[in-house]
Amino acid sequence: MEIGKFFFVSILLALVLGLVQSFEFTEKDLESEDRLWDLYERWRSHHTVSRDLGEKRNRFNVFKENVKHVHKVNKMDKPYKLKLNKFADMTNHEFRSTYAGSKVKHYRMFRGSRGGTGGFMHEKTDNLPPSIDWRKKGAVTGVKDQGKCGSCWAFSTVVGVEGINQIKTNELISLSEQELVDCESDNQGCNGGLMENAY
């Protein structure tokens, strides 16, 4: 997996988690500074975010800009809708440095072969459907939250194993990402890693 794909997967995971843990607002909430402040207080309560008074004013200003951005994008003719999530009072830079910044020196992890031929062994693939939604077939567990731990490598590994296990046994079992984070020695725990090493 190259660094660009790793970054994309990290951001995508955050967006998916954000949709699951979203917070609704209406046009009326945007009508005045007081209403925006009330919205911010409701959002803080919903996501149990505590801030001291000085930090609260700064965070409110960031929140306000993010609310306006979400509202503006949602008024466009897009195939998706944005929502406020637990990251709504963070700047883009803060979000990326906190949640999307692996601390692993990836170029070192790609050196050398991990064994095997590198080829893909598969059954006959002539008559495959153009796509399969494994969620509809019950092969995907619910969304999980890795928090501030840089363990997307463990989450992506586990979801793959959970899915293939369900496809083969018809039983969906939620497995432990934490076990990989704690016990897999070729990766860096919460400081990042590669899913290939976890297999």
Please tell me the pTM assigned to this model. 0.52
Return the percentage of the chain with pLDDT > 90, whole number.
Answer: 26
> What does the DSSP assignment read for 10-35?
HHHHHHHHHHHT-B---GGGGSSHHH
The full set of domain ranges for the chain reads: 3-99, 103-111+138-199
Determine the CATH number of domain 3-99. 1.10.287.2250
Reference 115, options 190, 186, 189; nearest CA is 186
User: Which CATH number does 103-111+138-199 carry?
Assistant: 3.90.70.10
Separation CA 180–CA 159 (nearest Å): 12
Query: What separation in angstroms does the CA of 93 have from each of 18, 97, 100?
Result: 17, 6, 10
Question: What would the pLDDT profile of 5-33 be if each residue is shown by its tens digit?
Answer: 655 555 555 554 444 456 788 778 788 88
pLDDT bucket at 110, cuts 50 / 70 / 90: low
Question: Is 173 within 8 Å of 165 (Cβ atoms)?
Answer: yes
> What would the pLDDT profile of 135-163 be if each residue is shown by its tens digit?
999 999 988 888 888 888 899 999 999 99
pLDDT at 7: 54
Residue ranges in 77-176 assigned as alpha helix (H): 92-99, 106-109, 152-169
Residue 117 or 193, more confident:
193
